[in-house]
Amino acid sequence: MSDWSYWLAAAGVTVILELFSGTFYLLMIAIGLAAGSGAALLGLGEALQWLIAAVVGVGATVALRRSRYGQLQQRVQAERDPNVNLDIGQTIHVPAWQDGAARVMYRGALWDVELAPGSSSAPGQYTIREVRGSRLIVAA
């Protein structure tokens, strides 16, 4: 086997490992290994092949890290995220409160409703701010 085929085999194994890990960083290293394969195919020396593979792999990893895909995302709790739970932001009518809690009919079922901190317990329209299990946390 030629040098370039070893580089491509290593790149293929790295891509397979990336599929199991779920990150793009191993894919960037695989791109570097493929660049090393290209250097071997051009007939460059072994030291230059390693150098090209390292520079391209590190460069691709740094480029990924600086892109919007590599930035750490601030996580929003699922019970408060309207992209996860479509009930958040919907309005309900609460006819009466009893010690900061109520039961209302919402989407064809009875739900326990609890006031968000800082809200007053007066009958009326409320907006769902959070869903905890079968309990709706609402605010005016």
DSSP state of 24: S
Helix, strand, or coil here: 111?
strand
Residue 73 domain-assigned? no
Q: Which of 30-44, 77-91, 94-108 has the lowest mean pLDDT?
A: 77-91
On whether both 132 and 88 belong to a single domain, the answer is yes
On whether both 56 and 107 belong to a single domain, the answer is no
Q: Which of 11, 44, 66 is the last residue of a domain?
A: 66
On whether both 62 and 94 belong to a single domain, the answer is no
Predicted local distance difference test score (pLDDT) of residue 138:
85
On whether both 62 and 92 belong to a single domain, the answer is no
On whether both 44 and 90 belong to a single domain, the answer is no
**Predicted model pTM:** 0.53
Q: Which of 13, 35, 66 is the last residue of a domain?
A: 66
Contact 104, 94 (CB under 8 A): yes
Q: Which of 42, 66, 90 is the last residue of a domain?
A: 66
Joined tokens for residue 13: 């194994």
On whether both 44 and 84 belong to a single domain, the answer is no
Residue 49 domain-assigned? yes
On whether both 9 and 40 belong to a single domain, the answer is yes
- In terms of residue numbers, what domain contains 92? 78-139
On whether both 105 and 52 belong to a single domain, the answer is no
- How many percent of the chain have pLDDT more than 70? 90
Average pLDDT over residues 117-139: 82
Residue 80 pLDDT greater than 80, yes or no: no
Count of domains for the chain: 2
